[in-house]
Structure 1
Amino acid sequence: MDLNERLTQDMKAALKAGPSGKVRLETIRFLRAAVKNAEIEKQAPLSDDEILGIITKQVKQLRDSIADFQRSNRQDLIERAQAEIDVLSGYLPEQLSADEVRDLARQVIAQVGAQGPKDMGKVMGPLMAQTKGRADGKLVQQIVKELLG
């Protein structure tokens, strides 16, 4: 079953769950609308990788929103955003730990022969390709900076 079919099935299940599935239903509906808009823009169905890209983008936006909500002291909005992240995270591949990202970064640094901070661009491209959808870009960047000095 592809990701689009899975979203449809999960939305139906959330509908049947009634009030207990409200956040899940609204989150999946919002995600399906974003996927549909991207399909209209592309004028073709999206692949699972493209849908994962949309999910990753939405999770990043929600995490950024949580930081704003914390500054505004809005616990209700923080909890709502976290619940949406939890729903969306269920569709993402298992996330890499910081140690796993660090190991991958070391491998890429060795492959490209990076010597210092000026070579960060050489490392980030291949490393982001390897960690796409499985690690937060900020974490990857932070680890590469740390390793390159």
Structure 2
Amino acid sequence: MALLETLTADMKTAMRAKDKETLSVVRMLKAAVSNEQIKLGHDLTADEELAVLSREMKQRVEELESYKAGERTELALEVEKQIAVVKQYMPAQMSEAEVIATVKETIEQVGATTKADLGKVMGALMPKVKGKADGKLVNATVQSLLK
């Protein structure tokens, strides 16, 4: 089932359950996916759907960090709930060990040896981990493994 259909079904379920928090997040996700579909002029591929979800997740994570930095605990709790709903639609996240293994494998494939090869490694690596791992973790892992 396409993401848009899943979101529509989940929106109906949230309405029936009178779950306003989930409903608002699902509506927002549905709007983001619909807007992207209109912008591109065709039904979204799985990668394009993942890109929209990743963008929405990233916005919420940044929002959460700023609320925590500003000691706005009530707003931070709301955003954490939103993140939990968005995570339901994201693919399973890679563990740190899986990220390290993927990075090592990619470094060998590319033949990278120094930090100067960071761009080559990241270019080959990001399509493999897109949406499945945090970009900051991936970047930090690559930098730690390259000398």
- Would you say same fold, with TM above 0.5? yes
1:112-149 per-position Cα deviation (integer Å, ceiling 9, x unaligned): 11011000011101111100110011110010001003
Which residue does the alignment assign to 1:43? Answer: 41
Decide which of 99, 102, 111 is 1:101's aligned counterpart: 99
Equivalent residue pairs, number: 147
In 1: Cα distance, 2:86 partner to 2:137 partner: 19
Q: Mark the runs of 5 or more structure 2 residues left unpaired by the alignment.
A: none
User: Alpha-carbon deviations, 1:6-53, whole Å to 9, x = none?
Assistant: 1110010000011xx111100010111111111111111212321111
Q: Note if contact 1:55-1:88 (Cα within 8 Å) is conserved in structure 2.
A: yes
Cα pair 1:4 1:48 within 8 Å, conserved:
no
Are the aligned partners of 2:4 and 2:34 in contact in 1 as well (CA < 8 Å)? Answer: no
Identity, % of aligned positions: 40
CA distance in 1, matches of 2:16, 2:46: 25
Does 1:144 pair with 2:142?
yes
For 1:118, the equivalent position in structure 2 comes to 116
Q: Secondary structure at the match of 2:121?
A: helix
- The structure 1 segments of at least 4 consecutive aligned residues displaced by more than 2 Å after TM superposition are none
Shift, 1:80, TM fit:
0.8
- RMSD between superposed Cα atoms in Å: 0.9
